[in-house]
Amino acid sequence: MKKPSPLVEITGTGRFLPDDIVTNDDLAEHLDTSDEWIQTRTGIRERRIAPPDMGAAYMGAAAARKAMEQAGVEPGEVDVIILATATPDRWLPSTACDTQALLGCSNAVAFDVIAACTGFIYAMSVAECYVAAGRAEVALVIATEKMSSIVDWEDRSTSVLFGDGAGAVVLRPANGSARGILSSHLGSNGDLADLLYRPGGGSAVPLSQQVLDEKSHLIRMEGREVFKHAVRCMADSCHVALQNAGLTVDDVQLLIPHQANIRIIAATAKYAGLPMEKVFVNVNRYGNMSSATVPVALDEADEEGLITPGSNVLTVAFGSGLTWGAMALRW
């Protein structure tokens, strides 16, 4: 198969993590849980929690500023902002528009993509289309999540899993460069929506006292079922994305999987055919930051020198929807 040439390059990455660290022991002070259970079942040791007055737009803008600085892009040069979030600052307007205002990107068109934990890969594929089609010279992709605002802090089966943070990348036309997006693969299955969702508080079941009393505006998850689908879908998606890129697993220098649970990461790597030495892991430090996990990991992997120019990087994610997707990149 002919190897595709990238049409779109990543020219900058950035991340933002709130300062406040909440350890498993901190959670065990008011929940029937333990550091031992959380570490054994999830690999999570601690997570960052944003202060009450810090929203997704603030965190997204902070990550975006770093990506723009690395890319040498001024706010006025950004043509499109595509922002993934499951935790918008408010229902109207989009968090992309709130972030645009914070950044001063007054020439950009800005909109949100909702695909939960797969949001970054979905947003990247939309941005790739914009840039490849010549509709944008500079695209800003942001994934930002304040998961602490949508978990039930009295539910030990979900609250211990999540954390807050944001990541961002700048995309530009590859113009003949060998670096950039090689391929992607996306999937979704709405029949399984109720495995991981927020039942109330939207237009189908508007916010009411009953919603608040039942806490149905907060995350509900069938953990074991989600686990099984996550591993299968992510491993399959990795194979398709690699095939579309004309690569094999042996060509991959680093797998950057969605960071939900170390056991899911290890099982996905195994079924995808990659040893753990080639897998990036930071779930121990941040927990599950939904769509933000992959861009935060990408920025850290770059900073740590784990990926260098020419590296083939495979990113993969899975989440509510259900949604999943993988993207092969040449760094």
Residues contributing to the site for ligand UT7 (CB under 6 A): 33, 37-38, 41-42, 117, 156-157, 160, 196, 223-224, 226-227, 230, 260-261, 264, 288, 318-319
Question: Smallest gap, in angstroms, from Cβ of residue 73 to ligand UT7?
Answer: 30
Is 244 marked active-site?
no
Return d(Cα 223, Cα 242) in angstroms, integer.
28
| Closer by beta carbon to ligand UT7, 69 or else 154 | 154
Query: Minimum distance from CB of 264 to ligand UT7 (Å)?
Result: 5
Among residues 180 and 321, whose Cβ is nearest to ligand UT7? 321
Give how far the C-alpha of residue 282 lies from the chain's centroid of Cα atoms, to the nearest Å: 13
Report in angstroms how near the CB of residue 165 gets to ligand UT7 at its nearest: 14
* Catalytic residue check, 24: no
* Nearer to ligand UT7 among residue 223 and residue 246 (C-beta): 223
Give min distance, CB of 25 to ligand UT7, in A.
13
Q: Is the dihedral of CA 176, 181, 185, 190 positive or negative?
A: negative
In angstroms, the first-to-last Cα distance of the chain is 21
Closest residue to ligand UT7 using C-beta atoms: 223
CB of 42 to ligand UT7, least distance (A): 5
Look at residues 15, 99, 39, 22 and name the one whose alpha carbon lies nearest to residue 262: 39
Cβ pair 316, 232 in contact under 8 A: no
| Rg of the chain taking only CA atoms, in angstroms | 19
Q: Which of 97, 258, 261, 312 is catalytic?
A: 258
Cα-based angle 164, 170, 172 (whole degrees, multiple of 5): 160
Q: Whose CA is closest to 149, among 18, 24, 239?
A: 18
Candidates 24, 97, 105, 117; catalytic one: 117
- List 24, 261, 288, 312, catalytic entry: 288
Please identify, using beta-carbon distances, which residue of 80 and 230 lies nearer to ligand UT7. 230
Buried b (16+ CB within 10 A) or exposed e, 109-124: bbbbbbbbbbbbbbbb
Q: Is 185 a catalytic residue?
A: no
Inter-residue contact 271 to 324 (CB < 8 Å): no
**Alpha helices (H) along the chain:** 24-28, 35-42, 56-71, 95-103, 119-132, 156-159, 209-214, 223-245, 262-272, 283-286, 293-303
| Separation CA 127–CA 136 (nearest Å) | 8
Tell me whether residue 23 or residue 311 sits nearer to ligand UT7 (CB atom): 23
Q: Closest CB to ligand UT7 among 12 and 321?
A: 321
CB of 143 to ligand UT7, least distance (A): 13
Neighbours of 216 (CB within 10 A): 18
CB 261 within 8 A of CB 229: no
For ligand UT7, the closer CB: 50 or 117: 117
Output the smallest distance, CB 282 to ligand UT7, in A: 14
Catalytic positions, written as ranges: 117, 258, 288
